[in-house]
Amino acid sequence: MLFRQLFDKESSTYTYLIADIKTKTAVLVDPVLEQFERDCQILQQLELTLRYCLETHVHADHVTSTGKLRDATGCETVVPFGAEVPCADRYITDGEILQLGSVVIEAIATPGHTNAHLAYLVNSERVLTGDALFIRGCGRTDFQSGDAGTLYDSVTQRLFTLPDETLVYPGHDYQGCTVSTIGEEKRCNPRFAKHERNSFIELMGNLKLAFPKKMVEAVPANQNCGRVLSTFNKHIP
């Protein structure tokens, strides 16, 4: 298996390139519009055929390049079931599997940051957690139908029940960290190790974070596979 962690500095977003070496088929997880040329270049350099663009959720802090990559490569755009993305080619549900040769990617429902959010377990050895679980943190729950209690349940019942040695690759990191493990996050993540469900809900309700700078642009664009609309008069859920 080929596995690459790619970074967008402006949004602190990780994009993941995963490929089967034998068949030369690949998937990009959470690609960023501004990194379209970079991603196309690495696919070309490694002689990979992009089969899927896979989203963990509808993002509010960056615009996806899934539509542009689909136009360029003929790949399928795949989003979580329940996400409001009518342009997607495919909706993936909890427990469903995408397979590229020897690479097996299993969807794990992890709602709470948004109401339609999936993590992806890759070959039972590493999990792409999107915005559900960060290294020593987690995604916010105060918009896009987020719910703190649901996120607590998703992380503690779906992610923290994976083997402790499972590698954790988040959707973002703002401190320069790249990878953790399930066992490490269970012990050291202050959002979970120091809180029960009720205190976690209270904590998340008192964060008082500013909305992402690109939210008004990004949400409707991502509901349109990354095509930025000329006006932003859609209601943000």
Tell me: the pLDDT tens digits for 141-162?
999 999 999 999 999 999 999 9
DSSP line for 36-95: HHHHHHHHHHTT-EEEEEE-SS--SSS-B-HHHHHHHH-PEEEEETT---TT-SEEE-TT
- Does position 236 have pLDDT exceeding 60, yes or no? no
Tell me: the pLDDT tens digits for 50-90?
999 999 999 999 999 999 999 999 999 999 999 999 999 99
Tell me what pLDDT residue 218 has.
95
- Does position 233 have pLDDT exceeding 80, yes or no? no
- Going by DSSP bridges, is the β-strand pair 49-54/25-29 parallel, antiparallel, or unpaired? parallel
Distances in whole angstroms, Cα of residue 182 to Cα of each of 56, 69, 80, 154: 18, 32, 23, 13
Tell me what pLDDT residue 232 has.
43
CATH superfamily name and code, 2-222: Ribonuclease Z/Hydroxyacylglutathione hydrolase-like (3.60.15.10)
DSSP secondary structure letter of residue 165: T
Question: Is residue 169 a contact partner of residue 4, using CB atoms and an 8 Å limit?
Answer: no
Tell me what pLDDT residue 228 has.
83
Local confidence band at 6 (pLDDT 50, 70, 90 cut-offs): very high
Share of the chain above pLDDT 70, in %: 96
Q: How far apart are CA 9 and CA 214, in angstroms?
A: 14
Determine the 3-state secondary structure of 205 from DSSP.
Answer: helix
Mean pLDDT over 201-218 rounds to: 94
Give, rounded to a whole angstrom, the gap between the first and last alpha carbons of the chain. 38
Tell me: the pLDDT tens digits for 88-143?
999 999 999 999 999 999 999 999 999 999 999 999 999 999 999 999 999 999 99
Record the tokens describing residue 55, joined without a space.
Answer: 């989203």
Question: Is residue 31 a contact partner of residue 66, using CB atoms and an 8 Å limit?
Answer: yes
- Does position 229 have pLDDT exceeding 80, yes or no? no
Mean pLDDT of the chain: 95
Tell me what pLDDT residue 230 has.
59
- Does position 235 have pLDDT exceeding 50, yes or no? no
- List the one residue out of 80, 35, 57 whose CA is nearest residue 141: 57
Distances in whole angstroms, Cα of residue 76 to Cα of each of 87, 102, 131, 146, 188: 11, 19, 22, 27, 37
Query: Please, which residues have CB within 8 angstroms of residue 89's CB and are 6 or more apart in sequence?
Result: 70, 76, 77, 78
